[in-house]
Amino acid sequence: MPEFTLHATITTPYSQVTDLLRAWQVPKRYRFWLRQHRAILINGRYRYANRPVLVGEHVTLHLDAPAITTYQPESTPVTVAFEDAQVLVVVKPAGIKPHPNQPGEGGTLMNAVAGYLAPQPAYITHRLDMATSGLTLIAKNPLTQALIDQQLAAKTMRRSYVALVAADIPESGTITAPIGRDPDDRRKRQVRADGERAITHYRVLERTATYARVWLTLETGRTHQLRVHLAYLGFPIIGDPLYAPQSHASRLMLHATELTWHESLGDATHTAHSPAPF
């Protein structure tokens, strides 16, 4: 069973160890496990949950988790945009799947990441469409995965994209149309009254005679949200095979260009960048 050790140095005092874990938003199941296994150490020694933690003290968490067998490691090169002890941010190429859909499937981003991180496991957080390129964050341990998932759910992780659309799109705007499944095509989503809440912000970065380059920020994260919202607005992304089939381009012109998240254990905020390849 893989074992993990996480380290942090305290920058804010806490009256109890429990308060520290809550401030880090460690899920309740992990807080219980750490206490039960005496696996939270302060300056190298176990400290009871009701004892204080002081600035400058060093915290170590020990975890274990079942082995990950979903991703078979492959030697495909990965482009690393950011890496530290807890996370890896890579640039997914357009045209490859983010992860396997069935046992033994290869050629996906997560197979390549598993090869890069081997023998340590990889834990996926958010996903990009197969046709979309750009930044993808992978956790290096299950606790960091849970903490990143909470940031996604709370919408504190910021994800921004660059896309190409028709040149006459308005200068900026916010699209709030709800999104649900397309009953006629299981691959697609559509704007519908009974859909889930979805919010997209956009602004034009550049215009030419043939296209506009737009900056897109997700406030929610529905499947195909950017693609559906821009098509609904009347400006589908150039090269989109599902929502702009009449458009002719070498690929879907959508790239995840900026990603901002909070450090798993601590107060720091990190941002990764990847320029659009179009």
Token code pair at residue 267 = 């107060």
Q: What is the pLDDT of residue 172?
A: 98
Round to whole Å and give the CA distance between 78 and 233: 35
CB distance 216 to 164 below 8 Å? no
- At 276, which amino acid appears? A
pTM: 0.93
pLDDT along the chain (278 residues), means of 10: 92 96 94 95 96 97 88 96 97 97 93 96 94 97 95 93 98 98 96 97 97 96 96 98 91 98 92 98
CATH 1.10.10.10 fits 3-64, yes or no: no
CATH fold of 160-256 reads Pseudouridine synthase (3.30.2350)
Q: What are the residue boundaries of the structural domains of the chain, listed by start?
A: 3-64, 160-256
What's the pLDDT at 223?
95
Quick check: do 3-64 and 160-256 share a fold?
A: no
Active-site residue numbers? 129
DSSP per-residue letters across 177-225? --EEE-TT-TT-EEE-TTSB---EEEEEEEE-SS-EEEEEEESS--TTH
Pairing of strands 212-218, 200-207: antiparallel
Residue 186: what pLDDT? 93
